[in-house]
Structure 1
Amino acid sequence: MSLNLSFTRHALQFKFDARTSRGAISEHVAYYLRAWDTDSPDVFGLGECAPLAGLSVDYRPDLEEKLQQVVQLVNSGKMAQHSASGYLQELELQDWPALYFALETALLNLQQGGGWQLHNNGFSRSEEGIPINGLIWMGDKKFMQEQIEQKLKAGYTCLKLKIGSLDFTTELELLQSIREVAPGNSLTVRVDANGAFTPQEAFKKLERLAKYDLHSIEQPIRQGQHEEMAQLCAYTPVPVALDEELIGVQGSTAKAALLDTIKPQYIILKPTLVGGMAASAEWIQLAENRSIGWWVTSALESNIGLNAISQFTAQYNVAMPQGLGTGQLYHNNIPSPLQIEHGALWFRPTT
């Protein structure tokens, strides 16, 4: 393989200010990495590098400079390795998880002949859909209620609510309104606190949340508080899913130690944040060895990244709703074959 790389910058514009407990964002910058073989320049693979402010370890002012360095190094032809795995290892991108994911994806896409193809499975052959949760974004009570009504009408059987920005009583009222029209046996409800609770208040809030028959709560307290999180997971009335807690944890030894210390009920995998598909697969294996549940979630990628994450997820026999979508948040997303039908994601290429 005589590999060539290039990249382009694309500023994704939200249709509304996307709010989390860390604040609101109206723009998300993605870099598209293009990979091709010198002998076949018309066939290329694409990958997306789109780290998130406040979360990604490689959301840094020198990211673009790093992208340029990687492109120049590969294009120079001076690297010792000339295979996909060789390039990934030699570039040493452990501290650049979003960039690693982009290069990993671009190389896999190139190996599969370009287009939208990364894996050959029931999803990529348009034979099977992936069950997904409907995401309810933070906002005022009216905005959140409108989203809930839309998702229920669209046929979702699993909703995920971002909590932690409204008054807690108001958030409980929203959960109560959901349960009044959709009991636990007909609708699965997840909540995501994004670390908004303090360790001192978390257990009491979990007790109140438990009344609404919740599937799980993501990251109830801020990451890095392993002892406090372990205590919550041991006694929680609502199953706990680790999310931000996984960011920056590298190597199987460190990953296993985290799971063995905290003993969560679930983990949530975001390839952009944890270092790509191979890293996510390692987390999955470690979790399954410990009877810890898992699901995969996108991290506001455009449709380039979403497609890659979806096809990776479909490599597993998933029955639990995943945190995927079609990038409908953006005015200027990349058109793609991803479609949502009755609470499931489908791959529907036109040709």
Structure 2
Amino acid sequence: MGLVLEYKKHVLNFKFAAGTSRGVLQTKEAWILKVYTKGNSNTYGLGEVSTIERLSFDYSVDFATELEELKGELSRHELPNSTEDIYKLVNQLVSAYRPAVRFGLETALLDLLHGGEFKIFDNSFFNTQKGIPINGLIWMGDKSFMKEQIDEKIKQGYKCIKLKIGAIDFETECELLSYVRSEYSADQLTLRVDANGAFITQEVLKKLERLTSFDLHSIEQPIMPKQPEAMSLVCEKSQVPIALDEELIGVFDKREKINLLKDIKPQYIILKPSLVGGFAATAEWIAIAESQNIGWWITSALESNIGLNAICQFTAEYNYVGHQGLGTGQLFDNNIHSPLAIQEDQIVYNKTLSWDYGDLGF
């Protein structure tokens, strides 16, 4: 019996205008995949094809056409009987240049392999509700809006917060960082910032020098990607540890990954499975980073709870150190209801809660 693929488009609505250095997000498109074995539609796996406009490598793809073609290809294959065989099948059927589709198909097939109960990986996150520490995300906006978010996250119990910077006046952003540090030392609160490539290359070292006074854990992607010599110099000269994020998008060949990290020598890399090509690709990045003594953490990329659940379970496959970026499920007013919940500064799979995706029409 071959595999059957169904898919539905789902537009997620932000609860607020989500500001980044690239602009403001109001909505985000996702394609939800449903995969089952022909003749047994009662047991199925769900996955998510998730992209971010102007950031994802494949955001401009006509997914309706791509997924229809994939539907035909899948019908000629049986469900693999292991995680590794699923990775091999996805690699065979989906081009590396379709990272979001790889992520969605891997998730749906892994879900189906484990019985279609939203169990993507067999580990403590799903089985025993062990929590994963996460950072609290502070979105860009005016000073009062950002300060309000900071106060709320700290009140909720977060031990690590991450500020999006680069969209408002730099001095105002420094004032916000100074405000945090006046109340909480680095021992009390881990502070990360994410520039999303906003700093001009000629000014970046000067700004990084200014940021050293705030005891930052790291800064993500201070300059735009694809400037390897400039980024290498930044990593060498900056007293604030550098984390690569957008720099990894569109790098699919293993040798290119090795050389990129070897040439730039960042202190950290940040991995978004739906942007780098799914779980097999993410695992490859982790292995390469660890071989070069480069730290890493995993973040979601504004997926619905279907994608977020899969990323959390993948993260729990590792002995993660530090806070992960997995707190995005509360951003949307029409997210898919799930057992994912935030308890202080951890995300957990609360089995007293249930899934509800009836609006998708599956």
Asked if these proteins are the same fold (TM beyond 0.5), I'd say yes
> Equivalent residue of 1:146, what SS?
helix
**Structure 1 Cα separation of the partners of residues 165 and 87 of structure 2:** 40
**Structure 2 Cα separation of the partners of residues 123 and 139 of structure 1:** 34
1:243-299 deviation per Cα after TM superposition (whole angstroms, max 9, x unaligned):
000001012111000000100000000001000011000000000111100000000
- The aligned residue for residue 173 of structure 1 is 175
State the Cα distance separating 1:311 from its structure 2 match: 0.2
**Structure 1 Cα separation of the partners of residues 224 and 328 of structure 2:** 28
- The aligned residue for residue 312 of structure 2 is 310
- The aligned residue for residue 223 of structure 1 is 225
- The aligned residue for residue 10 of structure 1 is 10
**Structure 2 Cα separation of the partners of residues 59 and 111 of structure 1:** 28
Instruction: Note if contact 2:136-2:158 (Cα within 8 Å) is conserved in structure 1.
Output: yes
**Structure 2 Cα separation of the partners of residues 39 and 10 of structure 1:** 26
1:191-236 deviation per Cα after TM superposition (whole angstroms, max 9, x unaligned):
0000001111000100001100000000000000000000010111
Of 175, 188, 195, the match for 1:193: 195
- The aligned residue for residue 135 of structure 1 is 137
**Structure 2 Cα separation of the partners of residues 127 and 53 of structure 1:** 33
Instruction: Note if contact 1:97-1:276 (Cα within 8 Å) is conserved in structure 2.
Output: yes
Is 187-196 or 110-119 further displaced after alignment? 110-119
Determine if the alignment matches structure 1 residue 41 to structure 2 residue 45: no
Is 156-165 or 48-57 further displaced after alignment? 48-57
Q: Equivalent residues in 2 for 1:292-303 (5 A)?
A: 292-303=294-305
State the Cα distance separating 1:63 from its structure 2 match: 2.3
State the Cα distance separating 1:115 from its structure 2 match: 1.8
**Structure 1 Cα separation of the partners of residues 179 and 236 of structure 2:** 29
Of 155, 162, 165, the match for 1:163: 165
- The aligned residue for residue 246 of structure 1 is 248
- The aligned residue for residue 74 of structure 1 is 74
TM-score, normalised by the number of residues in structure 2: 0.94
1:1-28 deviation per Cα after TM superposition (whole angstroms, max 9, x unaligned):
6211110000000111111000001010
Instruction: Note if contact 1:233-1:263 (Cα within 8 Å) is conserved in structure 2.
Output: yes
RMSD: 1.3
- The aligned residue for residue 327 of structure 1 is 329
| Identical-residue share of aligned pairs (%) | 52
| Amino acid paired to 2:245 | D
State the Cα distance separating 1:349 from its structure 2 match: 1.6
Is 234-243 or 118-127 further displaced after alignment? 118-127
- Describe the shift of the 1:186–1:40 C-alpha distance in structure 2 as closer, same or farther (beyond 3 A): same
- The aligned residue for residue 278 of structure 1 is 280
> Equivalent residue of 1:13, what SS?
strand
- The aligned residue for residue 358 of structure 2 is none
State the Cα distance separating 1:85 from its structure 2 match: 4.0
- Unaligned 5+ runs, structure 2: 81-85, 355-362
Instruction: Note if contact 2:79-2:113 (Cα within 8 Å) is conserved in structure 1.
Output: no
Instruction: Note if contact 1:159-1:187 (Cα within 8 Å) is conserved in structure 2.
Output: yes
State the Cα distance separating 1:326 from its structure 2 match: 5.0
Determine if the alignment matches structure 1 residue 123 to structure 2 residue 122: no
> Equivalent residue of 2:203, what SS?
helix
- Describe the shift of the 1:85–1:277 C-alpha distance in structure 2 as closer, same or farther (beyond 3 A): closer
- The aligned residue for residue 266 of structure 2 is 264
Is 40-49 or 210-219 further displaced after alignment? 40-49
Instruction: Note if contact 1:326-1:339 (Cα within 8 Å) is conserved in structure 2.
Output: no
- The aligned residue for residue 152 of structure 1 is 154
1:154-178 deviation per Cα after TM superposition (whole angstroms, max 9, x unaligned):
0000000000001000000000000
**Structure 1 Cα separation of the partners of residues 336 and 246 of structure 2:** 27
Instruction: Note if contact 1:36-1:44 (Cα within 8 Å) is conserved in structure 2.
Output: yes
Determine if the alignment matches structure 1 residue 29 to structure 2 residue 21: no
Determine if the alignment matches structure 1 residue 107 to structure 2 residue 109: yes
- The aligned residue for residue 214 of structure 2 is 212
TM-score, normalised by the number of residues in structure 1: 0.97
- The aligned residue for residue 357 of structure 2 is none
Instruction: Note if contact 2:300-2:328 (Cα within 8 Å) is conserved in structure 1.
Output: no
> Equivalent residue of 1:310, what SS?
helix
**Structure 1 Cα separation of the partners of residues 87 and 9 of structure 2:** 25
Determine if the alignment matches structure 1 residue 97 to structure 2 residue 99: yes
Determine if the alignment matches structure 1 residue 287 to structure 2 residue 289: yes
- Describe the shift of the 1:234–1:87 C-alpha distance in structure 2 as closer, same or farther (beyond 3 A): same
| Amino acid paired to 2:8 | T
**Structure 1 Cα separation of the partners of residues 94 and 139 of structure 2:** 36
**Structure 2 Cα separation of the partners of residues 103 and 127 of structure 1:** 25
**Structure 1 Cα separation of the partners of residues 66 and 235 of structure 2:** 38
1:306-351 deviation per Cα after TM superposition (whole angstroms, max 9, x unaligned):
0000000000011310000251110100001111111011111227
**Structure 2 Cα separation of the partners of residues 192 and 89 of structure 1:** 32
State the Cα distance separating 1:87 from its structure 2 match: 3.1
**Structure 1 Cα separation of the partners of residues 60 and 328 of structure 2:** 26
| Amino acid paired to 2:265 | K
State the Cα distance separating 1:61 from its structure 2 match: 4.6
**Structure 2 Cα separation of the partners of residues 13 and 244 of structure 1:** 24
State the Cα distance separating 1:126 from its structure 2 match: 3.0
